[in-house]
Amino acid sequence: MRILNCYNHDDGAVTDDEFLFSLFIAHQWLVDSVQLLTQFTAALQKQLEIWYRPHALILFDLILVYNWQETTDLSARTRLSLAVVYWIRRFPHHFDGQPQLCSLAVRFRALADDVPDETRQMIDVSSL
């Protein structure tokens, strides 16, 4: 998953801010935020092998999950969680006034029960 490569494998530091920023600023042209977070949640649950939307071929290429193993290791799940944290912190207006998106973020946080607690605690939309 391209988004996982935006973080350092060792310490989780952002290594490709440009991609993350571009994805979260422009995704709404191709797919709404609820659909995007739903795909992240599915990847976290290891239920998603390939996501395909004919109208979103560019986005498909950017966040394709190539195999289930990619999101089964803890490091990958942590980096996926950090991407959601990045989205919430950089673009809180995407979550503001969208109760369905906020509910999905809460669900994502609950499902991320095995990621480090400090990362999991940052998946927080309660103050928005």
What's at 20, amino acid-wise?
L
**Contact assessment for residue 85 and residue 79, using Cβ atoms and an 8 Å cutoff:** no
Q: pLDDT tens track of the chain, all 128 residues?
A: 678 888 887 788 999 999 999 999 998 898 899 999 998 888 887 744 444 444 444 444 445 444 444 455 678 889 899 999 999 999 999 999 899 999 999 999 999 998 999 999 999 999 88
Q: Give per-residue pLDDT as tens, 102-120.
A: 999 999 999 999 899 999 9
User: Is 14 in a helix, a strand, or coil?
Assistant: strand
For 12-40, give one letter per residue: b (16+ CB within 10 A) or e.
Answer: bebeeeeebeebbeebeebbebebbbbbb
Q: Longest Cα pair distance anywhere in the chain, in angstroms?
A: 37
Which DSSP symbol is given to 7? B
Reported pTM: 0.81
Domains, in order of start, for the chain: 2-121 (1.20.870)
